[in-house]
Structure 1
């Protein structure tokens, strides 16, 4: 077996609140970096911000925060965490639409066996409050997956075969953008030892996020 791991001590994790990647104009969201060491900050590439640092929060060791209190389509782009040495975390594509349809789906990888709910929301120029009170069609890789009442569809016990591009459709034919759904193997955590100064072994927490069988 070949085990692909990440060293938790040296990486940052980017998170989004609310936990989705599609938003309507005037929604608010926050993107943050959390790591075991300081020096990480949120950066983004949008139509108006290229490789630019977002607002850094104070008073929270190892955490950087970018708060968008009123989102606009110009906030659409790629967001990631980067430290002072130029190392980067995972990147997430965030889209902001003026009106129409958005898909609410997890922006981060799922684990084999997880259940996930896909939600479809609709808003018009005259109706400022988003609603999911309709039967929505859901598509995976351009193929109709099925319909869900109240704008929702539940995927149970997901596996690698569920990976793909998802979008949803309002009964009037208007569709959301596509979002990629990632599914990984079950994480394994163990303690490895590295030899540090003077030959002393130092414990290091390692999370294995993927195990692949090789011939």
Structure 2
């Protein structure tokens, strides 16, 4: 913080004391247990001033954007700490008789979070089931990370984590949810997955109060597939009369509401899960983006739609990972998509508002290698009869020449 931003009383003190001949100590601020804590913990700020010959100080605590002293203790404790306590703090000291004063300490920043944040596959619970399965534990050396060494479709699920610190232990609230989708690698092109979740209208974001259809399209014509969903309230639900109607392998929501936002997938009677899809129901502006991952080399088209405009297409700004990438256009087209285009996309209209963010995934195409292998194999098989005949003819010719030479030598 610049000197001009400090409270007036500190400015006056600094100006008066700038000409003092004694060495001016500088306080050091510490925060326990850490500068980044979670709501509900006990947090202590401490101001330490080391100066020769001074055993007693009067302390003054200041917070960024505050004009007055909020504490005069060497240690100030927040118990429990809340999000409103987050901010930048600094302290100042003066001798009891005001004959000596300290400098102003450096700022320290206190951050208070409501939830643990899961990043880079640091998930620790799978809430795809009615119960939670503990996957990792820091007491077993996992720390804040959880790694799947050999990912398989069975690891598909909605993951969350929770942190614990101190003795007695303090637990954070459950983190934001994270969908992890693991699909099997298809070696040869033309082989279809057992089932696909078909969403109609075909997009991840949907308006409120409209009809939404989700259908499990089975390539093997088998039965027993049902649509299930998971919402942020930790609820795992089958398509039923409560929120939809199931007909065969199709689930229909007659009138969508924001409550319908969640992860949807197809599940078999044996518990196999396929093609989980994030569905967002939003009032107002939405982003029209593909339901399933885009394959490298394909064309990606995004549109910004408004529930109350006719036609619904808006001329809007488009964002990727929070950064503006194209402005004032009715649709954004990305030709020849690559892995670099993966990210969170959204759109914004200056008057109508902003859409939610949708993750767009890009898959690598493996069709080239199998086609080349098949082509080479078929070519070899096609020419092999001719090669065999040629070898036989050459062998016969060689035998005839050898026999002719032997006959000539015998005659001589």
- Tell me, yes or no, whether TM beats 0.5: yes
Match of 1:131 in 2: 312
Match of 2:348 in 1: 169
> How far has the Cα of 1:111 moved from its partner?
0.9
Match of 2:299 in 1: 115
Structure 2 residue 211 is the aligned partner of structure 1 residue 28: yes
SS where residue 5 of structure 1 aligns? Answer: coil
Q: Structure 1 residues 156, 128: closer, same or farther in 2, change over 3 A?
A: closer
**Structure with the largest fraction of helix:** 2
Map Cα deviations across residues 102-127 of structure 1 (whole Å, 9 max, x no partner): 0000020111111121000123xxx4
Name which of structure 1's ranges 35-44 and 175-184 shifts more when overlaid on structure 2.
Answer: 35-44
**Cα distance in structure 2, aligned partners of 1:169 and 1:93:** 20
Moved over 6 A (4+): none
Question: Structure 2, unaligned stretches of length 5 or more?
Answer: 1-183, 240-244, 371-412
**Cα distance in structure 2, aligned partners of 1:48 and 1:27:** 23
Structure 2 residue 258 is the aligned partner of structure 1 residue 73: yes
Q: Which of 1 and 2 has higher RCO (CA within 8 Å, sep 6+)?
A: 1
**Cα distance in structure 2, aligned partners of 1:11 and 1:33:** 10
Kept after mapping to 1: 8 A contact 2:263/2:276: yes
Name which of structure 1's ranges 44-53 and 113-122 shifts more when overlaid on structure 2.
Answer: 44-53
Q: How does 1:41-120 map to 2 (within 5 A)?
A: 41-46=226-231, 50-54=235-239, 55-58=245-248, 64-98=249-283, 100-120=284-304
**Cα distance in structure 2, aligned partners of 1:68 and 1:129:** 24
Kept after mapping to 2: 8 A contact 1:48/1:74: no
> How far has the Cα of 1:12 moved from its partner?
2.0
Query: Scaled by the length of structure 2, what TM-score is found?
Result: 0.40
**Cα distance in structure 1, aligned partners of 2:201 and 2:317:** 23
Question: Structure 1, unaligned stretches of length 5 or more?
Answer: 59-63, 191-215
Quick check: which has more Rg, 1 or 2? 2
Structure 2 residue 253 is the aligned partner of structure 1 residue 40: no
**Cα distance in structure 1, aligned partners of 2:360 and 2:293:** 7
How many residue pairs align between the two structures? 177
Measured on the aligned residues, the alpha-carbon RMSD in Å equals 2.6
Match of 1:11 in 2: 194
Kept after mapping to 2: 8 A contact 1:122/1:170: no
> How far has the Cα of 1:43 moved from its partner?
0.4
**Cα distance in structure 1, aligned partners of 2:196 and 2:325:** 31
Kept after mapping to 2: 8 A contact 1:80/1:89: yes
Map Cα deviations across residues 120-164 of structure 1 (whole Å, 9 max, x no partner): 0123xxx475622x4211000111111242x31111111111111
Kept after mapping to 1: 8 A contact 2:195/2:274: yes
Q: Structure 1 residues 140, 48: closer, same or farther in 2, change over 3 A?
A: closer
SS where residue 259 of structure 2 aligns? Answer: helix
